[in-house]
Structures are given as structure tokens and as C-alpha cells.
Amino acid sequence: MPPKSPPLGSLAVQAPSLTPKIVHVSPTTCHDLSLFKDLLREYRKLDDLINMRLNRTTAQYRDQDRLGLGGKTNVNVEDQACAQVWRELVLNWKRRTEIVDYCVGVVDQSMEDRRQSMKTEDDPAIQRRQQGALYAEEVKRNQVHNELTVEKIVRKRSLDAFRSRCKYFEPPLSEAEARKWWDAAQASR
């Protein structure tokens, strides 16, 4: 049985939106490869536009600081911007990982169900049809599993861009989730 469907939204776009759209990921989403890939493409926009996001966030904090709205902190504008973008990246990576892991589970379970149904069938014509359907499921499974590799590549590229702009940034020890992703990213370098 596939894991429980995660309620995930397109907050991943990270373009300030007043009404984020909630997308409920279901087994149907996982089996419709174009929908699945479109959803991941939306979630990858932050990673694709990381330099622009860093520029905008830095400008936002600089404006707040200039207007005296930033409060009295000892943290400079660039560090604040880096921390904000890092939190957004981590949330985004976490959401995408949930989607991909969920869909991997759904597609793997679907393949296993097809294999089991083939074992109980005696009619050769039905077995051939089921073999063809199993082959189609195998192709779908491979494509969904390939998204795991794509995720690693996207994260590495985003981390490299982030590190080029935020050379001295390290997430605070108090942010456990951010530290976990930071440590994992550092280990894969």
C-alpha cells in the first residue's frame, strides 16, 4: 500500500503570492508523468532563479534597514538575505523530496501489484497484455526514479550558486531542519 498522500502546495514557487494554490498529490498525480514533471518544475523555480532571489531578498533587507524597519540587529543585510533564502531552499527541497518519495512508493507498489496479478493469470493472451502493461509501468517507474538523480543535481547546483554568494553563511544550530539539509549538502560536496 502506498504511503499517505502528502498535502503539498505550490508555495514552492516562492514568488510572493497572496493566494498560494494547494495541490493534493495523489496516486493519479504520480501516474500522470506530465503532471508529475510539471509539478516538480514549479517547485524547482526557486532553485532555477536562486541568484535573482538572493538579489531581491538582499535588496528587500537593505531597504528595510535604510528605512529603519529592520529592527536593531547585529546581523548585516547580506547575512539576513542568505538566511532567508536558505530557509526557503530547505522548505522547497523538503517538499520536493516528499513528492518524489511518495510517487516512487506509489509507482513501485503499482508495479508489484501488476507482477502479482500476472502470476495468477493462466490465459496467455491476458498474460501478454499484462506483460505490455508491466513494461509501460517499468518505463514510468524508471522516469519517476530518475527524478531522484535530478534532485541531487538541482540541489548541488543551487548549493554552489548559494555558496558563491553566501560564502560565510552557516545556518544556526537552533534550526535543526536547516542544519540537517546543510550537513547533507556539505557531505555530498
Q: Which of 159-163, 166-170, 173-177 has the lowest mean pLDDT?
A: 173-177
Ramachandran quadrant class, 4 (left: phi over 0; alpha: psi -120 to 50; beta: rest): beta
Q: Show the domains of the chain with their CATH numbers.
A: 34-45+86-187 (1.20.58)
Instruction: Give the pLDDT of residue 10.
Output: 39
Model pLDDT for residues 21-37, shown as the tens digit of each residue: 667 889 999 999 999 99
Q: What percent of the chain has pLDDT over 90?
A: 18
Instruction: Give the pLDDT of residue 11.
Output: 41
pTM of the predicted structure, to 2 decimals: 0.75
pLDDT higher than threshold 80 for residue 5 = no
Model pLDDT for residues 77-107, shown as the tens digit of each residue: 788 888 888 888 888 888 899 999 999 999 9
**What amino acid occupies position 123?**
D
